């Protein structure tokens, strides 16, 4: 009886650590180290930004114009310019993106070559470098559409054939279109087939079903896509480099044909071409902080809404 117990003990409580156990612990430790490293880097970056910008970051900073050759004052016009940019961008991109997503989920036949081309285009658009969008905006919107509009509407007088907030917003909307399409598609796919069937069985047309059942249910997906697009549009600089952003404007943009200031662009120019880089350091960091807070909080809101959509799908 004693010997059987000892045998069982030996089987269960073997103190020999074998090779695979050690390897397992090593890799677990490695991944934990990676996580700590990433979080540490994030906090160091944030820490530097907050510390260096602390003297400038205030309500005044956000609400007043820059003064003294941009070495003092605030970034109000850059903030407003960024807002107008993302608003016009959303007006262009959200309906267009939603309709595309609706086409892909509700109307496209499985084997349709056109639908396959659309899907391919969306995926490709998503990985095009942002500077390419800027060049496209310059070549297509400004030099082709804008110049053409001037010839037809203004007798050749230069008004639309130059960088302005309209062209910059449209360029940015092309960049963010894939994000919106993917988010809306995701939301549309969570709507169960039974709801569509119920509507059709009552004698509704496909369009009535979309308008009255599907679109209302996909609002959260549209919202997520819009917020992600806005967050991206607020931070990207390359697409607006030659399509409308300016470093210093005395007034806020009054019409779509005006140029505008922009947070990201401001940081870029200030850190490379400002008259007194040392003196403007705190402003640079404070502006960066503002931009970071803006994009981070937008992203968090989008993540929360998306998590809610996913929970609903289960």
Interaction residues for other proteins, span 109-148 (CB under 8 A): 109-110
Q: How far is the CB of 8 from other proteins (least distance, A)?
A: 50
Q: At what angle do helices 76-102 and 277-313 cross, to 10 degrees?
A: 30
Show the beta-strand stretches assigned E in the chain.
66-67, 72-73
Judge contact between 233 and 176, C-beta under 8 A.
yes
Q: Which of residues 142 and 191 has its CB atom nearest to other proteins in the complex?
A: 191
CA-CA distance, 288 to 78, in Å (whole number)? Answer: 12
Alpha-helical segments (H) within 128-164: 130-136, 147-153
Q: Which of residues 25 and 211 has its CB atom nearest to other proteins in the complex?
A: 211
Q: How far is CA 237 from CA 36, 156, 168, 228, in A?
A: 30, 30, 10, 16
Q: How far is CA 116 from CA 106, 124, 189, 206, 235, in A?
A: 14, 12, 17, 22, 31
* Total residues at interface with other proteins (CB under 8 A): 18
Judge contact between 287 and 266, C-beta under 8 A.
yes
- Does 310 bind other proteins (CB under 8 A)? Our answer is no
- Does 198 bind other proteins (CB under 8 A)? Our answer is yes
Stretch that binds other proteins, among 12-20, 72-80, 202-210, 286-294 (CB under 8 A): 202-210
Site string for other proteins, 257-296 (x = CB under 8 A): ----------------------------------------
Among 47, 197, 275, 304, binds other proteins (CB under 8 A): 197
- Does 106 bind other proteins (CB under 8 A)? Our answer is no
Q: Which of residues 119 and 279 has its CB atom nearest to other proteins in the complex?
A: 119
Among 55, 151, 208, 275, binds other proteins (CB under 8 A): 208
- Does 194 bind other proteins (CB under 8 A)? Our answer is yes
The vertex-74 CA angle with 292 and 72, nearest 5°, equals 120
Interaction residues for other proteins, span 211-230 (CB under 8 A): 212-213, 217
Q: How far is the CB of 216 from other proteins (least distance, A)?
A: 8
Stretch that binds other proteins, among 130-138, 187-195, 242-250, 273-281 (CB under 8 A): 187-195
The vertex-296 CA angle with 100 and 96, nearest 5°, equals 15
What percentage of the chain's residues is helix, strand, coil (to nearest 5)? 75, 0, 25
Q: How far is the CB of 227 from other proteins (least distance, A)?
A: 23
Q: How far is CA 285 from CA 27, 77, 104, 279, 281, in A?
A: 38, 17, 43, 12, 6
Interaction residues for other proteins, span 39-78 (CB under 8 A): none
Q: Which residues bind other proteins (CB under 8 A)?
A: 109-110, 192, 194-195, 197-205, 208, 212-213, 217
């Amino acid at each position: 009886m004693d010997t059987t117990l000892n045998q069982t003990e030996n089987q269960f409580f073997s103190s020999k650590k074998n090779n695979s156990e050690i390897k397992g612990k090593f890799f677990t430790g490695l991944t934990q180290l990676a996580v700590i490293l990433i979080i540490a880097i994030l906090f160091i970056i944030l820490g530097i930004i907050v510390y260096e910008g602390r003297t400038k970051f205030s309500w005044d900073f956000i609400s007043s114009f820059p003064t003294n050759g941009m070495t003092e004052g605030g970034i109000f016009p850059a903030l407003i310019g960024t807002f107008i940019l993302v608003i016009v961008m959303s007006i262009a991109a959200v309906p267009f993106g939603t309709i595309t997503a609706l086409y892909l989920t509700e109307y496209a036949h499985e084997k349709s070559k056109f639908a396959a081309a659309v899907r391919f285009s969306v995926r490709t658009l998503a990985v095009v470098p942002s500077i390419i969008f800027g060049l496209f905006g310059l070549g297509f919107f400004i030099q082709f559409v804008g110049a053409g509009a001037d010839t037809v509407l203004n007798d050749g007088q230069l008004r639309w054939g130059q960088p302005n907030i309209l062209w910059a917003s449209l360029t940015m909307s092309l960049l963010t279109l894939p994000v919106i399409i993917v988010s809306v598609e995701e939301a549309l796919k969570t709507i169960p087939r039974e709801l569509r069937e119920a509507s059709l069985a009552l004698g509704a047309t496909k369009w009535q079903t979309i308008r009255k059942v599907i679109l209302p249910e996909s609002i959260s997906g549209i919202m997520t896509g819009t917020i992600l697009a806005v967050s991206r549009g607020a931070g990207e600089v390359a697409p607006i480099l030659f399509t409308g952003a300016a470093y210093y404007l005395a007034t806020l943009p009054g019409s779509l044909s005006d140029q505008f200031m922009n947070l990201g662009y401001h940081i870029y120019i200030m850190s490379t071409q400002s008259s007194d880089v040392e003196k403007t350091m705190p402003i640079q960091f404070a502006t960066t902080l503002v931009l970071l807070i803006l994009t981070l909080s937008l992203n968090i809101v989008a993540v929360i809404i998306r998590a809610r959509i996913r929970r609903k799908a289960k």
